Amino acid sequence: MLASDSIGKEFVVTCFGESHGRCVGVVVDGCPAGLPLSERDIQEEVDKRIPPKPEIVSARREKDIVEVLSGIFNGFTTGAPICTLVWNKEVIPGEYDQIKDVPRPGHADYPARIKYGGFNDYRGGGRFSGRITVAFVMTGAIAKKLLGLFGVEILAYAVEIGKVKVEKKLTIEEIRMNTYKSAVRCPDLERAKAMEEEILKAKSEGDSVGGVVECVALKVPVGVGEPIFDSLDADIAKMLFDVRAVKGVEFGAGFKAAQLRGSENNDAYAIRGGKIVTLTNNAGGVLGGMSSGMPIVVRAAIKPTPSISKEQKSVDLSKMEETLIRVRGRHDPCIVPKAVPVIESAVALVLADHTIRAGVIPKVLREKK
Amino acid sequence: MLASDSIGKEFVVTCFGESHGRCVGVVVDGCPAGLPLSERDIQEEVDKRIPPKPEIVSARREKDIVEVLSGIFNGFTTGAPICTLVWNKEVIPGEYDQIKDVPRPGHADYPARIKYGGFNDYRGGGRFSGRITVAFVMTGAIAKKLLGLFGVEILAYAVEIGKVKVEKKLTIEEIRMNTYKSAVRCPDLERAKAMEEEILKAKSEGDSVGGVVECVALKVPVGVGEPIFDSLDADIAKMLFDVRAVKGVEFGAGFKAAQLRGSENNDAYAIRGGKIVTLTNNAGGVLGGMSSGMPIVVRAAIKPTPSISKEQKSVDLSKMEETLIRVRGRHDPCIVPKAVPVIESAVALVLADHTIRAGVIPKVLREKK
Amino acid sequence: MLASDSIGKEFVVTCFGESHGRCVGVVVDGCPAGLPLSERDIQEEVDKRIPPKPEIVSARREKDIVEVLSGIFNGFTTGAPICTLVWNKEVIPGEYDQIKDVPRPGHADYPARIKYGGFNDYRGGGRFSGRITVAFVMTGAIAKKLLGLFGVEILAYAVEIGKVKVEKKLTIEEIRMNTYKSAVRCPDLERAKAMEEEILKAKSEGDSVGGVVECVALKVPVGVGEPIFDSLDADIAKMLFDVRAVKGVEFGAGFKAAQLRGSENNDAYAIRGGKIVTLTNNAGGVLGGMSSGMPIVVRAAIKPTPSISKEQKSVDLSKMEETLIRVRGRHDPCIVPKAVPVIESAVALVLADHTIRAGVIPKVLREKK
Amino acid sequence: MLASDSIGKEFVVTCFGESHGRCVGVVVDGCPAGLPLSERDIQEEVDKRIPPKPEIVSARREKDIVEVLSGIFNGFTTGAPICTLVWNKEVIPGEYDQIKDVPRPGHADYPARIKYGGFNDYRGGGRFSGRITVAFVMTGAIAKKLLGLFGVEILAYAVEIGKVKVEKKLTIEEIRMNTYKSAVRCPDLERAKAMEEEILKAKSEGDSVGGVVECVALKVPVGVGEPIFDSLDADIAKMLFDVRAVKGVEFGAGFKAAQLRGSENNDAYAIRGGKIVTLTNNAGGVLGGMSSGMPIVVRAAIKPTPSISKEQKSVDLSKMEETLIRVRGRHDPCIVPKAVPVIESAVALVLADHTIRAGVIPKVLREKK
C-alpha cells in the first residue's frame, strides 16, 4: 500500500507535490462550511517560515505565493475540499545528479531508492524534502482560523537550539509577544541571541545544529480526543513524527515523568473560579487520550540538518562501492526556526480534526441568510 | 466521531471490552492466510504480562485464558478476521462506586465522564483501564509470529525504573537471554535488582514509580514505512502513545539528537559483508519515515502508576466541591514490568501492518496442497 | 489488502466468524453513548430471520441466542464498541468434505479457494455463508433503535418471488401491519400466497427461486449523505451488494428512469403543510447523493439460492477434471423471506452511519444525571 | 463528517474543484511507481467525453487541457501522489443567480442548500455538477493504463437510450471497433442511429432522455475482490452510484436473476483449454464478492438529464412560496454518450484498487536500472 498521503478522519489532509516538481499542494477535506477564509490568511502563515535573518537559514528563496484552487466561494468555505498550493521556482535541472546514486547521510535518499525501485523523484529529496512542510503550514493556517473561532489558540516556539536551552518559565504573554520578534523563534529573547550564535558557529564550521520546539494549545475543551487508538496525544505525536526531522516527542513532564513518584506526577483536581482545574500539569493536558481542559503541552526534538558541507562517508549504489560525499548547495545550518510554524501547524491540524470529531465544531458554522 | 477502536491499514486491529465488563477482546483483520497459529501461541504472550514476583505487581489475578473465536482453521489462519478474547473474572460489584463521582488524579475518569455524559462504564477505568492492553498483547502474539516467518525479531525491555538506569551498552544476546529472567524485565540483571528495590520502596510508602522501556526490531527490510503521513516512526509513536501510561517516545538518539551537530548525528554509509550499513545508528533505524535496514530502536517513557494509596486532592463532580480521595484496592506500584510485553506488542503490530503494506509479506503465506 | 471486514465511517461495523466456526459476531464502534439497549432488542431482530413456516425455508435450526460482550452498562450504550455474537451449533464435522475440492456453482467456493490458497474455512461456505448476515441483523437492530429515537423508520418487504410480483401500490400502513404476517414477508397478503406456492413448487423440483426486496426509509432529514464518493445511495448500494445474493440495486424509478423523459422523471417541488415536498418520488428520496426529505425507496434483486439438489456440472480442482455435483443437505428453496430483515438491517446501518456523519445524531444522546 | 471526497483503499482517489470555480482536479495516491504515464495519456481519455456531433450534446465547450502537477518524473510514475487537473473556462458570472433560491427539479440544489447552510457554490451545481466527472475520467486514464499492463481491458458502451435498446448479442470485437464510431457510443451502429433520433426528438421538445450503459472488464484474474464489506461488485456499484445520474446498477443477469430458477441461474463449471470457466455468466463475473475469472459485466441506468427547457414547478426558498422555473442555458438532451467514458473510468478505478489490494499488481512495476 503506497497510498499514505492523507491524514485525519474528519478534517482530512491530502498532500501532493515534490521539492523540485511543479508545486507543493494540499487538499483539505472536511473543513466546515461557513468559515471566513482567503488566500491572504494562508499566505500570512506561509510567510512565517522565512526567518528575518537570511544568514541563519539557507540562501533566500523567492517568496512562495499561495493559490487557492477550490473550496472557497464569496469569502467563505463551502464545505467542499479546499485545494491550495505554491508553485515551485528556482528549480535548476542537473543540480541534484550528485545524489542520484550516492545517498546523503541522514536523508531519505537510500531507503527511498530501494522502496521505489529508482523511480522516485530524487531531486532535492523529492517528496521527502522539508519543502513539503509548506503544505502542512497551509493546512495549519486553515486549522488555526477554524479553531480560533472556538477560542482555541496554538503557540509553538523554540526552547532549545544546539546546547542553548531556555531555562526560565515562559509566560503565555511572553510567548505571544516575543516568538516572532526573534529570528530563531524563541520567546526568551536573551537566550535567542545565544541560539543565533550557536547556529552561526555551526554554519561557519560547515556543520549544523538541532533543537527542541515546544507547543502549547490553550482552551481545548475537556474530552477532545478518542480512547484506545485515536487518542489525542497519539495523533499529535504521529503528526509530529511526520515532520521528517523530529526524533522525539513528549507531553507534559514527558521523559522526566519516568523518574517521578506517582504522588509527584499526578495532577490533583481543584475548583477555581467555578471550573475544574488541575493544580499542576504534568500530564500536559492529556488524560486517557483525551484533553483534560488544561493547556496541552508538547515538545518535539528536531535533529540537526542532515545537509552539511563537511565531507561524509557514503556509498555509490550504482557501483556498490564506498565513496565520499560533500553535499552541494547552501543549506539551513538549523531548521528549528522554520520548524516552529510547521510544528504549530501540525498540532493545529490534529486539533481541528479532533474538535470536529468530538462534536465541538459543527459541520456548518452558521446559517447563511 | 466516537469510532476509534481500530488501528492499522492492512493488519487492522479492532478492540472491544472493558476492565469490568464480560471480556477484553480484539478482532485482527488482514492477517495473511496460511500462518500456523494456535490459542497457545497467544496464551504464551499473554502470560508474559504477569511478572514472577507478585510483590512488585498488584495482587495476583487469576490467569487469563485466551480463546480464539474465528479466523483459524486446521491450525492455520484462513485470511478471515481473527477474534480472540479473555473473559473477565473477579469483577466485584460496587467496588468502584467510589470513583463514580470523584475522579482519580492521573486517570481518565474526569474527561471520560464529561465526554460520555456519564454513560461510560467507569468501573476500574472501564475502557481506559490498563487491562485493555491484554488485547494489544494478543495482537502482538499474532504479529510476532507473522514477522518471525520473515526473520524480523522484536525485543522490549526496561532500561529505567524510577531513578535507576541501565548505563551499560546491552548486547542483543543479553537482551534475548536475560529480559524474562528478571522480574522487572530488565536484561541488566544487576540494575534489575536495584530496580526491584526502587519499586518496593515506593510501594512501602503507598506510592509508585515509572520508567523507560526500550524496544529494538531487528532485520526489518529497507524501505518499510510510507512517506508523509504514514511514516514508520510516526505510526510506531502513535501506537505507543495509545498505551495509556506513555508520556514520551524517541527514536535512536532521540532528544539527545537535538544537542548534536549534524556531522555527529548523521549516520555514515558503508559496505559490510556486501551489504549497505550505517556506521552509527543515531537515526534509530528510520530515515524519511522508512526503515533504513539498521535496527529500529525506540524508547517509551512510562509514567508512575496513577493509582496510589496516598491521599490525593480531587473534586466531587456530583456536588462540585473539593474533596480528598484515597484510591482503594491493591495496585501495581510500577507498571513497567507489565508494560514491557505491551510495548513489544505495540511495535510488533505496527511492523506487521507496514511489512504487509510494503509488500514484504504476501497475502497468502504459501499455497496449500 | 485482505482486511475488508469493516464498513462505515462513524457507525463502524466489523464482522467476524464463519458458518461452521465457533460463532458469528460483530463489533459496532461509534454508537453514541446513552442509547437504551439490551440483548433482547437484538434478539427480537435476529428472530425475524426465521419465517414461521419451516417448509419454505431450510430445516429448522436451533434458535440463535444473542450475547452482548461489551459496550452496554446499566441498560445504556456507553460509547465504547459493542461486541455481540451468536454461537454456532449443529456443526457436523465432515459434512462439507464434498465441497473441499468441487466448487458448488453459484457459490464463492472457487474464487475463495484460489484467493486464499486453500486455507479458507470452506465448511458451509465459511465466511461467505449466508449465515454471516446474522451479524448484519444484529447491527441493524442497534441501528434501528438509534434511528428510531430520531423518528426514522425503515421497512423492508418482498415485492417479487420467482415470477409472482406485487402489482398494486402498497401503503405504509399495509407494509407495517402485514409484512410479518406473511411467511414470505410480503405485505400484499394475496400475492404472498402465490409466492409461497412458487417456492414450494421450486422446492418440490429440487430447485430454487429468487425475488426482489424493496425497502423504504421514512423521515430521513434533508441533506443526509455526502457528495462525490460517500453519497447516500452509493453507500446503501454498496452495503446491499455486500449481501451475497444481491445482483441488482435501484432507487426510485430505477432502471425504468432510463426510459422516461426528463419532464416525466424530474420530481417537481411544492409546499405542503409548510414543508417542501416533491410531487412525485422518482428519485427514490436521493438527489445528488443526499436525502431529499422524501421517503428513500430502494429495491434489491435477490438471485435464486445457488444450493439446489439437482445435479450440476462442476470441476474437481484437486484433479482438474470435470465432474458432477449434487449439493447435499437441506437448503432454503428461497432466501427472500430471510433476506427481508437483512436488507432492512443493511439500509439501517448505512443510515445510522450517515445520520451521525450529517450531525443529525449527536455523540451523546442525553446527559445522564 | 463532511470529508467524503476520497475513494479506494490502495489506489486512493481524492477529488476537488467545482463546476464554476477555478478547476476540476484529482489526486491519485497509491499508483505503483514505474508506470509509463504522460499528460497525453490522460488527455486522450478526457477528449472522449466530447461526442463528435455537437447537436446531441450541449453547446460545444472549449477543449479541456489536462495538466499534471505531481507524481510523474522522467515519463514514469514515482509512487508519489499524482495531481492532475483541468482549468475551468467560460465561467460567466451571474448566469446562475436564477438557481440560488429556486432549486431545479432533479438536481442537488435543494438538499445542498440545506446541508451547507447556503454556503455551497451553487453555480452550475458546483460540486454536484456533471463536470466533476472529468476528474473520474482523468483517474480512469491512469487506472486503465495500469490495468492494461496486466492484460485487463475495460469497455463501456450505451445499450439503451430512451426507448431504443440494443437487442442483439454484441461481440467484444464489435464493442472495441464500433463504440467510438458512434456519436452515442453504442456499438450496434444501426440502433445507434435510432438512438440519435431519440435524442434529437427529445431535444426538439425541450426535453431529455436517459439510457443504460453496460461495461465489461476482461481478464480480471480469479479472486480479485474482498469478502464481506469490500466485495468487488459492491465497490463497483458504489462508484457507479457516485456518478450522479445513475439510478440502478446490476451485474450479469441482474434483476432478471430474480425470476430465474437456481438451476437456470447457476453458472456450471467446466474446463476449456486447461482453464476453469463457467458455461454461462449470469453472475456477471462476480461470486461471493470476488472475480470468478469470467468477464465482469455491469449495467448502469442513467436518468434523463434533469436540466430541460420546459417550465417546471419549484419553490422559491427565500420566500417559501411555489414558483415556476425554466432552466436557462443550453443543456445536454442526453448525457449517456458523455457517461460512457465516465462509467468505464469508474469501473477502471475500482479494479485498479482491487487488483492492487489482491496483490495482482505490485508496488513497483519494475526495477529501474
Does pLDDT of C60 surpass 60?
no
Minimum distance, in Å, between the CA of residue C17 and any CA atom of chain B? 5
Q: Which of C87-101, C156-170, D201-215 has the lowest mean pLDDT?
A: C87-101
Band of pLDDT at residue A98, cut at 50, 70 and 90? confident
Over residues C264-285, the mean pLDDT reads: 97
**Closest residue of chain D to C306, computed from CA coordinates:** D262
Q: Give the domain extent around D224.
A: 11-357
Instruction: For residue range D185-207, list pLDDT tens digits in order.
Output: 999 999 999 999 999 999 999 99
Share of chain D above pLDDT 70, in %: 95
Over residues A358-363, the mean pLDDT reads: 90
**A212 inside domain:** yes
Cβ-defined contact of A14 to D25 (cutoff 8 Å) = no
DSSP string, B15-77: EEE-TTSSEEEEEEE-PPBT-B--HHHHHHHHHTTS-S-GGGSSSPPPPPPEEE-SSEETTEE
Helix (H) or strand (E) holding A297: strand A296-302
Over residues D241-265, the mean pLDDT reads: 97
Helix (H) or strand (E) holding B290: strand B290-291
Q: Which residues of chain A from 185 to 204 reach within 8 Å of chain B, CB to CB?
A: 202
Cβ-defined contact of D3 to A30 (cutoff 8 Å) = yes
Q: Is C288 on the interface with A (CB under 8 A)?
A: no
Q: What is the pLDDT of residue D83?
A: 98
Instruction: For residue range C234-264, list pLDDT tens digits in order.
Output: 999 999 999 999 999 999 999 999 999 999 9
Amino acid at D2: L
Nearest to A260 by CA among C92, B51, C101, B306: B306
**Closest residue of chain A to C80, computed from CA coordinates:** A227
Pairing of strands C6-7, B275-278: unpaired
Q: Is D21 on the interface with A (CB under 8 A)?
A: yes
Between CA B263 and CA B268 the distance in angstroms is 9
Between CA D60 and CA A214 the distance in angstroms is 57
Q: What is the pLDDT of residue C1?
A: 62
Does pLDDT of D60 surpass 70?
no
Q: Which of C295-299, D50-54, D82-86 has the lowest mean pLDDT?
A: D50-54
Q: For chain D, give the mean pLDDT.
A: 94
Q: Is B3 on the interface with D (CB under 8 A)?
A: no
Whole-complex ipTM:
0.97
Instruction: For residue range A275-330, list pLDDT tens digits in order.
Output: 999 999 999 999 999 999 999 999 999 999 999 999 999 999 999 999 999 987 76
**B364 inside domain:** no
Q: Which of A346-350, B127-131, B239-243, C77-81 has the lowest mean pLDDT?
A: B127-131
Cell numbers describing residue A367: 446559517
Cβ-defined contact of A16 to D70 (cutoff 8 Å) = yes
Which residue's entry shows cell 532521540? Answer: B254
Amino acid at C156: A
Would you state the torsion angle of the CA atoms of residues A60, A65, A66, A70, taken in this order, to the nearest 10 degrees?
-150
**Closest residue of chain B to C6, computed from CA coordinates:** B29
Q: Is B368 on the interface with C (CB under 8 A)?
A: yes
What phi, psi does B305 have (nearest 5°)?
-50, 125
Q: What is the pLDDT of residue D53?
A: 80
Cell numbers describing residue A255: 521523559
Band of pLDDT at residue C368, cut at 50, 70 and 90? low
* SS3 call for B202: helix
**B4 inside domain:** no
Instruction: For residue range D84-121, list pLDDT tens digits in order.
Output: 999 998 666 666 777 889 999 999 999 999 999 999 99
Cβ-defined contact of C270 to D315 (cutoff 8 Å) = yes
What CATH number is associated with residue B338?
3.60.150.10
Q: How many CB pairs under 8 A join A and C?
A: 11
Q: Which chains touch A (3 or more CB pairs under 8 A)?
A: B, C, D
Q: Which residues of chain A from 130 to 159 reach within 8 Å of chain B, CB to CB?
A: 132
Band of pLDDT at residue C329, cut at 50, 70 and 90? confident
**Closest residue of chain C to B127, computed from CA coordinates:** C80
Between CA B149 and CA B352 the distance in angstroms is 11
Does pLDDT of A95 surpass 80?
no
Between CA A156 and CA A348 the distance in angstroms is 10
Contact list, A346 vs chain B (CB under 8 Å): none
Q: Is A36 on the interface with C (CB under 8 A)?
A: no
- What is the DSSP code (8-state) at residue A364? B
Over residues C89-96, the mean pLDDT reads: 68
Between CA C234 and CA C225 the distance in angstroms is 9
Minimum distance, in Å, between the CA of residue D262 and any CA atom of chain A? 39
Over residues D166-171, the mean pLDDT reads: 97
Q: What is the pLDDT of residue C90?
A: 65
Between CA B188 and CA B157 the distance in angstroms is 10
**A363 inside domain:** no
Contacts of B330 (CB under 8 A, 6+ apart): B58, B59
Q: For chain C, give the mean pLDDT.
A: 94
What separation in angstroms does the CA of A358 have from each of A9, C33, C309?
Answer: 11, 13, 54
CB D99 within 8 A of CB D105: no
Helix (H) or strand (E) holding A128: none
State the maximum Cα–Cα separation within chain B, in Å, rounded to a whole number. Answer: 71
**C325 inside domain:** yes
CB C317 within 8 A of CB C102: yes
Band of pLDDT at residue A97, cut at 50, 70 and 90? confident
Instruction: For residue range D289-336, list pLDDT tens digits in order.
Output: 999 999 999 999 999 999 999 999 999 999 999 999 998 776 889 999
Over residues C64-93, the mean pLDDT reads: 92
Q: What is the pLDDT of residue D55?
A: 77
Amino acid at C301: A
CB A307 within 8 A of CB B351: no
**C364 inside domain:** no
**B263 inside domain:** yes
Does pLDDT of C61 surpass 80?
no
Instruction: For residue range D210-248, list pLDDT tens digits in order.
Output: 999 999 999 999 999 998 999 999 999 999 999 999 999
Does pLDDT of D142 surpass 60?
yes
Which residue's entry shows cell 425504468? Answer: C256
Cβ-defined contact of D80 to A27 (cutoff 8 Å) = no
Cell numbers describing residue B230: 504514514
Instruction: For an interface test with B, give the residue of A110, A186, A327 to mutate (most B CBs within 10 A).
Output: A110
Nearest to A352 by CA among A51, A178, A50, A139: A139
**A1 inside domain:** no
Over residues B83-98, the mean pLDDT reads: 80
Q: Is A313 on the interface with B (CB under 8 A)?
A: yes
Over residues C270-286, the mean pLDDT reads: 97
Which residue's entry shows cell 519543502? Answer: A131
CB A124 within 8 A of CB A109: no
Instruction: For residue range B278-327, list pLDDT tens digits in order.
Output: 999 999 999 999 999 999 999 999 999 999 999 999 999 999 999 999 98
Q: How many domains does chain B have?
A: 1
Facing A359 at nearest CB: one of C227, C358, C363: C363
Between CA A313 and CA B354 the distance in angstroms is 30
pLDDT: which is higher, D366 or D158: D158
Does pLDDT of D369 surpass 80?
no
pLDDT: which is higher, D59 or C333: C333
Minimum distance, in Å, between the CA of residue B290 and any CA atom of chain C? 20
Band of pLDDT at residue C51, cut at 50, 70 and 90? confident
Minimum distance, in Å, between the CA of residue C40 and any CA atom of chain B? 17
Instruction: For an interface test with D, give the residue of B363, B365, B366, B367 to mutate (most D CBs within 10 A).
Output: B363
Over residues A121-142, the mean pLDDT reads: 94
Band of pLDDT at residue B21, cut at 50, 70 and 90? very high
pLDDT: which is higher, A236 or B50: A236
What separation in angstroms does the CA of B245 have from each of A355, B249, B298, D186?
Answer: 23, 11, 16, 64
Over residues B66-79, the mean pLDDT reads: 97
Q: Is A112 on the interface with B (CB under 8 A)?
A: yes
Does pLDDT of A240 surpass 60?
yes
Q: What is the pLDDT of residue B369?
A: 43
Q: Is D355 on the interface with A (CB under 8 A)?
A: no
Does pLDDT of A369 surpass 50?
no
Minimum distance, in Å, between the CA of residue D1 and any CA atom of chain B? 8
Does pLDDT of C346 surpass 90?
yes
Q: What is the pLDDT of residue C263?
A: 97
Contact list, A228 vs chain B (CB under 8 Å): 4-5, 15, 127, 132, 242
CB B37 within 8 A of CB B145: yes
Cell numbers describing residue C255: 432502471
**Within a 10 A sphere around the Cβ of C206, how many other Cβ atoms?**
16
